Amino acid sequence: MADYLVIVESPAKATTIKKILGSKYKIEASMGHIRDLPKSQLGVDVENNFEPKYINIRGKAELIKKLKKEAQSATKVYLATDPDREGEAIAWHLAYILGIDENSDCRITFNEITKNGIQTAIKEPRKLDKNLIDAQQARRVLDRIVGYKISPLLWKKVKKGLSAGRVQSVAVRIIVDRENEIENFKSEEYWSLDAKVKEMKNRKNFNIRLIDYKGKKIEISSEEQMKQVTSELEDETYVVKTIKSGEKKRTPAPPFTTSTLQQEASRKLGFTTKRTMSVAQGLYEDGLITYMRTDSTRISEEARAMAKEQIVSQYGKEYYENRYYKTKKDAQDAHEAIRPTYIDRLPEEIKEKYTSDQYKLYKLIYERFIASQMASAVYDTMAVDVEAGEYTFRANGSKIKFAGFMKVYVEGNDENLEEKDVILPELKEGEKLQLMELLPEQHFTEPPARYTEASLVKALEERGIGRPSTYAPTISTILDRHYIEREKKTLVPTELGKIVDHLLRENFKDIVDVKFTAQMEEKLDEVGEGDIEWKKVISDFYGPFEKNLEEVEEKIGKVELKDEVTDVPCEKCGRMMVIKIGRYGKFMACPGFPECRNIKPIVQKLDVKCPKCGGDILIKRSKRGKKYYICENNPASCDFIAWNGPDKNGVIKAAVITKDEDEKKTTTKKETKKKSTTKKKASTTKKRTAAKSKKE
């Protein structure tokens, strides 16, 4: 029997910790929350100072019984749930159910699941942090009131299955605002002019760009204006006016926070925020990375020393630089930045043991952290101004002199632009250049880009909406509600999303107001700091909200949703099919329902052709919801099928699985499973026989 009981949240984390602590410790998992507000009702007594009505979560009776039994037989119980508000609240609920005094030293936290991290935590138990618990309660109660009060109104006035939320509704608003900007954008014409010139000594060509006319910035807005400029420049003498040589430094990005990890995983790996957090959770629970919900860029001195050792030994002293990064003003600095727990555990070493996703994300985290402690990259730069009469052209050149951190990692950008060396020939001031060709080019101003998951997370963070733990579930929710859709990597509001957003803007201005929501986040942070009482925050919000709700219910009528009509006729009755949204997404249905109940799936096509027969590639989903790509001629005349989509060049060539290969893989899996089951049965039989013999 174990002397100590340690309760964590997940079995994976329990397994990792079990390897670190000895036989005196029993490790159990709570499987997340064990108490929560009931789903069937509001669960908040608004007449009694907003007292929450917590109940044990359905289906956890056996687990609670087991935990109680283990707690009663243990000398000491340690509540080791995640080191954040949510984890503190779970520990508090566990203490209540297990009869543990919340003022006793029962709480332990660790930022990393390492031997040192766990053993230090065990030596330094503390009381439950009531401020953090209250901050979580305030957020939970506030979100429950908003969701459970407005959602039924949406069901009644728009359609069933809708929801509103304090953060999700603002996220939808931000996406709708961007779409409105795009729709209302008026494109304007403008022109640029490059000149291809040749220096006479080595006969090398290079391009220069027109920037000034008579010392002022030149703007060309029409073809006629451009023709006038080029006619004047065709006979001019091109002379090198000034040459400025210099040096430019580029510093590395700080180690990851939750937000920057989600953004970079989206840019570089194509991961959704939900996928990123799921993979990161697994890496944390296996002891590979530090806690993945953080908005701090701080790193421990121990980690700093390990990074130095690794960089110096692998790249040399000149590549190391001891760097400290400023954490933003409103950040919760309880945890470090996201980093590998052991610097000597190289990404390649885990490749075989872990999944492809885990390897890719670990590699990203590892390289970003190492690069954050490396020297700046140094560029040699050169700026050349060329005079042609009263016109001035410029050419900028740069070349990497010292790679520094870029030897390991370069931060991505939303435009996917790569920085390349631009080498200019050796030139002298006063040197004449030969004009080879004038290269006028017409452009049109473009509307702002739609949000991607990465840029939406960035926008939410910059505006102070939500916190690290809320970004992924927020985006998942508004996708599941069909308020927005993914088009390739961009997020586009649906007609339903626009209607719900308009209704909320017109009737619940505070709920979708960016500034109001950000201020509410600040108040919740103040609760966590112990500066304000949580029930006062709820009370101040609820009074005006309740009054507004009553007025809105009387004021607004039923909102009619119009179905999008397709050009596909119903083969049963001839009516044009319409697009409906169901539980699993969009589908086509006959508008003659209930007389005609014909429905059809919507077939999505890729912009690339089948590499085997040239047919269209269709996007489908397996029974488990996994996306796959199949030729339109499958199975009639082509057997092409693939799990992976097109690469950067728009070609499907990786992870192609033909039917034969797929069957072979399935057969292999079945055989492996069969062998495993047979082995287990044999082992069980052997144990039973041994036990029987012993008994006899």
E-assigned strands of 316-454? Answer: 377-388, 391-402, 432-444
Contact criterion met (CB below 8 Å) for 156 and 552: no
How many whole angstroms from its chain centre is CA 593?
40
Helix H segments across 508-585? 514-529, 534-555
Amino acid identity at 1:
M
Task: Return the structure tokens found at 148.
Answer: 């459970």
Nearest to 8 by CA among 23, 24, 27, 25: 27
- Reduce the DSSP state of residue 62 to 3 states and report it: helix
Tell me the C-alpha distance between 467 and 358, whole Å: 24
* Residue 635, preceding peptide bond in cis (omega within 30° of 0): yes
Q: Please state whether beta strands 51-52 and 44-45 pair in parallel, antiparallel, or not at all (unpaired).
A: antiparallel
Task: For residue 608, give the nearest of 596, 618, 621 by alpha carbon.
Answer: 618
Type and span of the H or E element at 94: helix 85-98
Least Cα distance to 182 among 447, 453, 495 occurs for 447
* Sheet-wide strand order for 564-569: 564-569, 576-582, 585-589, 599-601
Helix (H) or strand (E) run with residue 56 in it: strand 55-56
Rounded to whole angstroms, how far apart are CA atoms 278 and 143? 23
**With the C-alpha atoms ordered 93, 95, 101, 103, is the resulting torsion angle positive or negative?**
negative
DSSP structure string for 221-286: -SHHHHHHHHHHHTTPPEEEEEEEEEEEEEPPPPPB-HHHHHHHHHHHH---HHHHHHHHHHHHHT
Half-sphere exposure (Cβ direction) of 344: Cα atoms closer than 13 Å: 4
CA–CA dist 474, 169 (Å, integer): 9
Instruction: Show the 3-state SS of 671-688.
Output: HHHHHHHHHHHHHHHHHH
Q: How many CA atoms lie within 13 A of 70 on its CB side?
A: 22
CA distance 322 to 374: 7
Cβ proximity of 504 and 511 under 8 Å: yes
Residue 276 and residue 266 in contact, taking contact as beta carbons nearer than 8 Å: yes
CA–CA dist 86, 661 (Å, integer): 45
Three-state SS at 657 = coil
Active-site hit among 25, 78, 291, 320: 291
The verdict on whether 291 is a catalytic residue reads: yes
Tokens 């919900």 label which residue? 293
Residue 262 · residue 468 · CB < 8 Å: no
Within a 10 A sphere around the Cβ of 395, how many other Cβ atoms?
Answer: 22
Q: What does the alpha-carbon distance between residue 553 and residue 157 come to, in Å, rounded to a whole number?
A: 9
DSSP string, 343-375: TTS-HHHHTTTS-HHHHHHHHHHHHHHHHHTBP
DSSP string, 2-19: -SEEEEES-HHHHHHHHH
Q: Which of 173, 237, 530 is nearest to 389 (CA)?
A: 237
Residues recognised as catalytic:
291
